[in-house]
Structure 1
Amino acid sequence: MSASASQSGLRLVLLGQRNAARRPAVCSLLDLEDQPGPDVDGVQGCSKQRGEAAGRQVVVVSSPAWFSSACDPEERTKHISSLIASSSPGPHAFLLCVPLNQPADGEARALDALIQLLGPSAVASNTIILFTHTEELDEDEQLEEYLITWRKDLQNLVERCGDRYHTLETRNGGPEEKQAVEELLEKVEQVVKESGGQHFSYPLYQEAEERVREKQVELVSERRGEELSDQASPTNSHPEVSEEEMGAVREEAERSIGDLNVDVDSIFSSPAVLASSPALSPLGGLWEKLLAWIRWLPTLVRREALLGALVGLFVGGPVGGMVGASVGSVATEVGRRNTQKNK
């Protein structure tokens, strides 16, 4: 592990839809202690989990889905500010939780918004796709095979993130689960290595870190009833402040940071974010609906159903529908008999 990462542990920012990403499950797998953030003017802030995973100190910061089109603009500013302050001076990696059982529109928007907020390298060099809901896969089906064959929308997300992806969900748990955690953290460390051994940095994070440090000095002064000199640095050990107390002061300072200088309107009115869910052609729309339906079927049935649906889709009309249904039925029956023969 790099010197930068080893001093304070690995900081991870966890992004994902509120209900689909299974963020609590991820933190449970990492065996982290949940520390919910405070309400800020009635808006629930970020949560911060910390603990030891695979022999490493790990901190995971997660927030509401501020990139969602349903998020109120005023709340969005608070969520982003809380997220940046809580993961300051910068994360070692962003983990975007992506469920296999849903379309990727929301996650594509998340990547576009992250680029507008923190620059292209936040996605291209510092984000790992973390797949959830892997019960979508059949027992003999590999995640990579599923992505390439059935889910080009998810494969596009992976490609945008430098082909970095992972899942913590395993079929057998136990040793496999521990190995999955180990492999994830190794991928995070590889991200750090490729970034020159440093955590992610950006002007917005630099602004947040400066404000957090100023607040630390203020809080320590208030607790000790004394004025610290202008040259005093909160990162240096104060003779009367323990490391544990300084950590508590640091987190209090992070929670106290108000809205940062984030131009939310500019970010979410940008062409890139607005184009995250482009309008499909009529044929393309039918194809997307077809794939959405087919992916719920078992692998064997899935392939034959796709064959029949393709015929019906491209022949068109009542005749195409009947021909497609017939082709699909015949192919399914042939596949079933071949399966029985091989047993």
Structure 2
Amino acid sequence: MEASKPLQTTAGDACGPEEEAKKMAAAAQDVNHLTDIRLVVLGWRWPGKSLTGNTILGREEFHLERAAEFCVKRQADVGARQVTVVDTPGWFSTQDTPASYKQELVRGASLCPPGPHAFLLVIPVGMFTEVDRVRIEEHVSLFGEQVWKHTIVVFTWADVLRTISIERYIRREGKELQWVLEKCKKRYFVINNSIPLFEEHPQVGHLLKKVEKMVAEEEGHYNLEVEKKSLEENKNAAKEVRDLGARPKQNSGLDLSKTKEVESLSSE
């Protein structure tokens, strides 16, 4: 009977705990990796919204000087991914947003079927008020309640903080801003839009990985068709409540005739 030969190993097979951990981390990243990423950018007019879209794509695709009334969709290869960005009409800070703008805003999600992987809610660093919170809720809720699970807050103009950290800024602004972040499951990102577009932007890759992680955690992208159905059901339910409230009480005609009889008897 032949003695069993010892199992031969190569240098590549042997690895310590650190190498094994690195391999597992790389494998996890590969699982989350998306070959294409679809983004919809939301926010006020002039908060750095269009500029953020340009930063992500690495070139000037959205004209900063235009006051957008319509959605604009652009694509570019970013790293090993094809990235689609939809820039939406910005809403006003104090004025009511026209209904046509709101309709166009919602249409942005349909421009990247079957639905965007993430909504990037662009908020410029500065004083954040209750009015700002209400305006965000008013416009983001147009996409349905589930939209918050697929939303990342992107802070722009953070250079004004100088030595103040973004965490301290969030605490300083109080419950209004913290409410928004709670709705987004505290997903936020700080982006520097001052780096020239022709240079490789170190933050864009990190932002896209954050999007991939969110998609993995939420088990998919924002489903436009499901949300449309949900919004329509809510609208119909609200209409039924209004109709029920407007109906006259039962037997109201009988009660009215009895009242007339009493009036008739009292006059005799």
Indicate whether the TM-score tops 0.5: yes
Corresponding residue number in structure 2 for 1:154? 177
Task: Choose which of 115, 118, 121 in structure 2 pairs with 1:93.
Answer: 118
TM-score by length of 1: 0.49
Amino acid at match of 1:51: A
Q: In the alignment, is residue 63 of structure 1 matched against residue 85 of structure 2?
A: no
Aligned positions of 1:54-133 closer than 5 A: 54-66=79-91, 70-105=95-130, 107-113=132-138, 116-123=141-148, 125-133=149-157
1:71/1:170 CA distance change after superposition, 3 Å = closer
1:106/1:181 CA distance change after superposition, 3 Å = farther
- RMSD of aligned alpha carbons: 3.5
Summarize deviations over 1:263-315 as a string: whole Å, max 9, x none.
Answer: 6xx8xxxxxxxxxxxxxxxxxxxxxxxxxxxxxxxxxxxxxxxxxxxxxxxxx
Corresponding residue number in structure 2 for 1:26? 52
Distance in 1 (alpha carbons) for counterparts of 2:127 and 2:224: 32
Distance in 2 (alpha carbons) for counterparts of 1:127 and 1:203: 18
Distance in 2 (alpha carbons) for counterparts of 1:44 and 1:32: 22
Task: Choose which of 160, 176, 179 in structure 2 pairs with 1:136.
Answer: 160
Q: Which runs of 5+ in 2 are unaligned?
A: 1-29, 239-268
CA shift at 1:94, angstroms? 0.7
Secondary structure, aligned partner of 1:48: strand
Cα pair 2:38 2:84 within 8 Å, conserved: yes
Distance in 1 (alpha carbons) for counterparts of 2:31 and 2:43: 27
Corresponding residue number in structure 1 for 2:251? none
Cα pair 1:89 1:201 within 8 Å, conserved: yes
Aligned positions of 1:253-332 closer than 5 A: none
TM-score by length of 2: 0.61
Corresponding residue number in structure 1 for 2:188? 165
Summarize deviations over 1:14-37 as a string: whole Å, max 9, x none.
Answer: 001012x2123212322145268x
Secondary structure, aligned partner of 2:61: strand
CA shift at 1:84, angstroms? 3.0
CA shift at 1:55, angstroms? 3.1
Corresponding residue number in structure 1 for 2:41? 14
CA shift at 1:101, angstroms? 1.6
Cα pair 1:122 1:200 within 8 Å, conserved: yes
CA shift at 1:121, angstroms? 2.5
Cα pair 1:108 1:157 within 8 Å, conserved: yes
Secondary structure, aligned partner of 1:13: strand
Amino acid at match of 2:173: R
Secondary structure, aligned partner of 2:185: coil
Cα pair 1:45 1:82 within 8 Å, conserved: no
Higher helix residue share: 1
1:71/1:54 CA distance change after superposition, 3 Å = farther
Distance in 2 (alpha carbons) for counterparts of 1:94 and 1:204: 16
Secondary structure, aligned partner of 2:206: helix
1:80/1:28 CA distance change after superposition, 3 Å = closer
> Percent of aligned pairs with the same residue?
27
Cα pair 1:132 1:169 within 8 Å, conserved: yes
Q: In the alignment, is residue 199 of structure 1 matched against residue 221 of structure 2?
A: yes
Task: Choose which of 178, 194, 207 in structure 2 pairs with 1:184.
Answer: 207
1:70/1:171 CA distance change after superposition, 3 Å = closer
Cα pair 1:54 1:181 within 8 Å, conserved: no
Distance in 2 (alpha carbons) for counterparts of 1:114 and 1:73: 11
Distance in 1 (alpha carbons) for counterparts of 2:135 and 2:59: 25
Distance in 1 (alpha carbons) for counterparts of 2:212 and 2:184: 15
Amino acid at match of 1:201: N
Distance in 2 (alpha carbons) for counterparts of 1:131 and 1:44: 23
Cα pair 1:51 1:58 within 8 Å, conserved: yes
CA shift at 1:261, angstroms? 11
Distance in 2 (alpha carbons) for counterparts of 1:177 and 1:159: 32
Distance in 2 (alpha carbons) for counterparts of 1:32 and 1:171: 13
Cα pair 1:89 1:205 within 8 Å, conserved: no
Secondary structure, aligned partner of 1:44: coil
